[in-house]
């Protein structure tokens, strides 16, 4: 493994340890509620948001080990959004991370509640962190806004609204990319900056671009990869009439667009303080990712 991969795995392992202790200590009844929460939390995944958070803390002089609540809250909010998104009434996906999705495993009603419980538990962790000080409270509010009705949920709503709509524009697509995906990818970077008392505007800009790149490559993979490679159903966007970059401007123009966003990411990074090589490599990895 090269330096980037070693560091990514180290952050990931740190996060998995924190997640595992959290899940072991989870005192929730009835069992099915605890099990459905654990099932979705522990089903793997890239852990991109916690990794971004830990890496940014490291860069800015923070201590990842001490800010575990934020990393857990980030992944819980991401996980709840996947559980609700996979429901039959939403994107109706039977697979997630190569395993049956939460509602396939526990039934729809339990999946709805597992999602609700993860969102609520994320806030419970954020309140605990917020009790430690002013900066923690600000960082918690930042995540709350990124996840909320003017953030990720707005993106999900727009994503549904634009299904099979003939007159969608590039602005509609940008709204979806920014809200559905980029808000929660920029959040860990902005939170790290807030916690370390560093300016956050450049990190917000980089995180937003990285999030859009992530969603764009997701849409490209939906066209190019197989279900096995993805661990979730491939080719669904077109079947469901999703508004994606590929639908709007075609595959090769979308690839060019991804290259362009990658360049903009790297150029924003150049002006940042410290050794940003991890983020440079991560950006290029997101561009080239195969799942």
State the minimum distance, in angstroms, from the CB of residue 141 to its own copies. 5
Sequence-separated (6 or more) residues with CB below 8 Å from residue 46: none
> What's 81's DSSP letter?
H
> What's 126's DSSP letter?
H
Sequence-separated (6 or more) residues with CB below 8 Å from residue 209: 182, 261, 264, 265, 268
Q: What are phi and psi of 243, to 5 degrees?
A: -80, 110
State the minimum distance, in angstroms, from the CB of residue 49 to its own copies. 17
State the minimum distance, in angstroms, from the CB of residue 104 to its own copies. 13
State the minimum distance, in angstroms, from the CB of residue 31 to its own copies. 9
Q: Is 100 helix (H, G, I), strand (E, B) or coil?
A: strand
- By C-beta, is 87 or 223 nearer to its own copies? 87
Q: What sections of 169-200 are H helices per DSSP? A: 170-176, 183-196
Residue 52 tokens read as: 């971004």
**Residues in the site for its own copies, rule: CB under 8 A?**
26-30, 32-34, 37, 80, 84, 87, 89-90, 107-110, 112-113, 115-117, 119-121, 123-124, 126-128, 130-131, 137, 140-141, 144-145, 147-150, 153-154, 156-158, 160-161, 175
- By C-beta, is 185 or 265 nearer to its own copies? 185
Contact present, 237 and 222 (Cβ < 8 Å): yes
Sequence-separated (6 or more) residues with CB below 8 Å from residue 246: 219, 220, 222, 223, 237, 238, 254
Q: What are phi and psi of 99, to 5 degrees?
A: -125, 165
CA dihedral 84, 89, 92, 95 (to 10 degrees): 30
- By C-beta, is 23 or 225 nearer to its own copies? 23
Q: What sections of 47-107 are H helices per DSSP? A: 48-60, 68-86, 102-106
State the minimum distance, in angstroms, from the CB of residue 51 to its own copies. 24
Contact present, 254 and 246 (Cβ < 8 Å): yes
State the minimum distance, in angstroms, from the CB of residue 87 to its own copies. 7
- By C-beta, is 24 or 290 nearer to its own copies? 24
- By C-beta, is 157 or 233 nearer to its own copies? 157
State the minimum distance, in angstroms, from the CB of residue 134 to its own copies. 9
- By C-beta, is 124 or 277 nearer to its own copies? 124
- By C-beta, is 126 or 213 nearer to its own copies? 126
State the minimum distance, in angstroms, from the CB of residue 208 to its own copies. 17
- By C-beta, is 162 or 192 nearer to its own copies? 162
């Amino acid at each position: 493994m090269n330096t980037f991969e070693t560091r990514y795995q180290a952050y990931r392992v740190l996060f998995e340890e924190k997640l595992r202790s959290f899940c072991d200590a989870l005192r929730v009844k009835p069992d099915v509620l605890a099990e459905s929460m654990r099932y979705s939390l522990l089903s793997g995944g890239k852990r991109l948001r916690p990794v971004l958070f830990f890496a940014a803390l490291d860069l800015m002089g923070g201590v990842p080990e001490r800010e575990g609540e934020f990393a857990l809250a980030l992944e819980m909010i991401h996980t709840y959004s996947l559980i609700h998104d996979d429901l039959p009434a939403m994107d109706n996906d039977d697979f997630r991370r190569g395993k049956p999705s939460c509602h396939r495993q526990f039934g729809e009603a339990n999946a709805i509640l597992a999602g609700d419980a993860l969102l609520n538990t994320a806030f419970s962790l954020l309140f605990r962190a917020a009790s430690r000080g002013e900066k923690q409270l600000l960082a918690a509010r930042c995540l709350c806004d990124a996840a909320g009705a003017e953030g990720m949920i707005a993106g999900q709503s727009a994503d549904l609204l634009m299904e099979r709509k003939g007159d969608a524009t590039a602005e509609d697509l940008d709204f979806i990319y920014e809200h559905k995906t980029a808000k929660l990818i920029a959040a860990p970077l902005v939170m790290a900056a807030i916690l370390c008392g560093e300016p956050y505007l450049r990190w917000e800009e980089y995180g937003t671009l990285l999030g859009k790149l992530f969603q764009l490559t997701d849409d490209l993979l939906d066209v190019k990869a197989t279900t096995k490679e993805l661990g979730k159903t491939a080719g669904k966007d077109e079947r469901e009439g999703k508004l994606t970059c590929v639908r709007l401007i075609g595959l090769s123009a979308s690839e060019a667009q991804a290259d362009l966003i990658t360049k903009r990411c790297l150029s924003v990074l150049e002006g940042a303080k410290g050794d940003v090589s991890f983020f440079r490599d991560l950006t290029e990895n997101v561009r080239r990712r195969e799942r």
